[in-house]
Chain A
C-alpha cells in the first residue's frame, strides 16, 4: 500500500502527464503502419504512464487505472490474440499467420494483410504493456 506523494507539484504534473503519455502511446501504436513505431514501442509508452501513476499517485488511484490482478491475464490475452490470428488464417485454409486467408468478409488481400498487421500489433501492445506493469508490481510492490 503506497500513499500518494506528498508534493503537490508531483501530483499535479503526473495528473497532467499520464493522459498525454497514453495518447502518444496509442498514436505510436496506430501510426506504426506509416512511421517508425508499432506494438512494442506503443506498449512501453502505455506501461510508462501506468508506472508513473503507480509511483506518484498512490495505490488507490493507480489500481483504479489498471489493477495489478489483471496484468498477467491481459499479457496472456495479448499472446492469444497474436497466435489466434495465425490460427484463424490456418483454419480458413491458408498458412499459419498468412493474413490473406483471415475470415474477414469483403476485403482485398492487401487490405486483409493491413488489418492482420494491426490486429497482431494490438496483441503485441497488450502483452508488452501488461508484462512491464506486472514486473514493476512484483519488484517494487503496487
Chain B
C-alpha cells in the first residue's frame, strides 16, 4: 500500500514537472497572458495594467496598484471581512462578567 502511494506521488510529481516545463518563460512577451489582443480578438486586461500602472499611480509594484487602486473596492471588502471575523469571535467567546 505504501509503495502504491509513493508511485502515485512520483507519477503526479513528474506530471507537474512536465507541465511546468511547457510554461512560457517569465517575462515572455509572446506568452498568451501578455498579448495585447488574445486569439479570439478581444483585448487582454493584464496588458492594460502592465502598460499603465506606473503612469497612473507612480508605484513600481503593479500588484500593489491592482490590489489597492484598480481593485480597491475588493480590498475594502477583504478588510471588512477581517473586521467582521474579529467581531464575531468577540461575540461568541467573550466571557460574561457575572
Answer yes or no: B10 CB below 8 A from chain A CBs: no
Query: Taking CB as reference atom, which chain A residue is nearest B93?
Result: A138
- How close is B89's CB to chain A, nearest CB, in angstroms? 5
Tally of contacts, chain A with chain B, CB under 8 A: 100
Contact with A along B48-92 (1 / 0, CB 8 A): 000000011111110111011100110110111011011101100
The CA of A139 and the CA of B42, in the complex, are separated in Å by 51
- How close is B66's CB to chain A, nearest CB, in angstroms? 11
- How close is B25's CB to chain A, nearest CB, in angstroms? 21
A110–B76 CB distance below 8 A: no
A138–B79 CB distance below 8 A: no
Query: Taking CB as reference atom, which chain B residue is nearest A38?
Result: B64
Please give, as numbers and ranges, the residues of chain B lying within 8 Å of A132 by CB-CB distance.
86
Answer yes or no: A53 CB below 8 A from chain B CBs: no
Answer yes or no: A78 CB below 8 A from chain B CBs: yes
- How close is A131's CB to chain B, nearest CB, in angstroms? 4
A82–B61 CB distance below 8 A: no
Answer yes or no: B94 CB below 8 A from chain A CBs: yes
Please give, as numbers and ranges, the residues of chain A lying within 8 Å of B82 by CB-CB distance.
75, 127-128, 131
A113–B61 CB distance below 8 A: no
A32–B83 CB distance below 8 A: no
- How close is B46's CB to chain A, nearest CB, in angstroms? 18
A78–B68 CB distance below 8 A: no
Contact with A along B32-58 (1 / 0, CB 8 A): 000000000000000000000001111
B80–A79 CB distance below 8 A: yes
Please give, as numbers and ranges, the residues of chain A lying within 8 Å of B94 by CB-CB distance.
138
Q: Which one, B57, B61, B72, B93, contacts A32 given CB within 8 A?
A: B61
The CA of A111 and the CA of B56, in the complex, are separated in Å by 9
The CA of A79 and the CA of B57, in the complex, are separated in Å by 22
Query: Taking CB as reference atom, which chain B residue is nearest A85?
Result: B72
A139–B69 CB distance below 8 A: no
A36–B76 CB distance below 8 A: no
Answer yes or no: A97 CB below 8 A from chain B CBs: yes
- How close is A21's CB to chain B, nearest CB, in angstroms? 20
Question: Which A residues fall within an 8 A CB radius of B?
Answer: 32-36, 38, 40, 71-72, 75-76, 78-79, 82-83, 86, 96-97, 99, 108-111, 113-114, 116-117, 120-121, 123-124, 127-128, 130-132, 134-135, 138-139
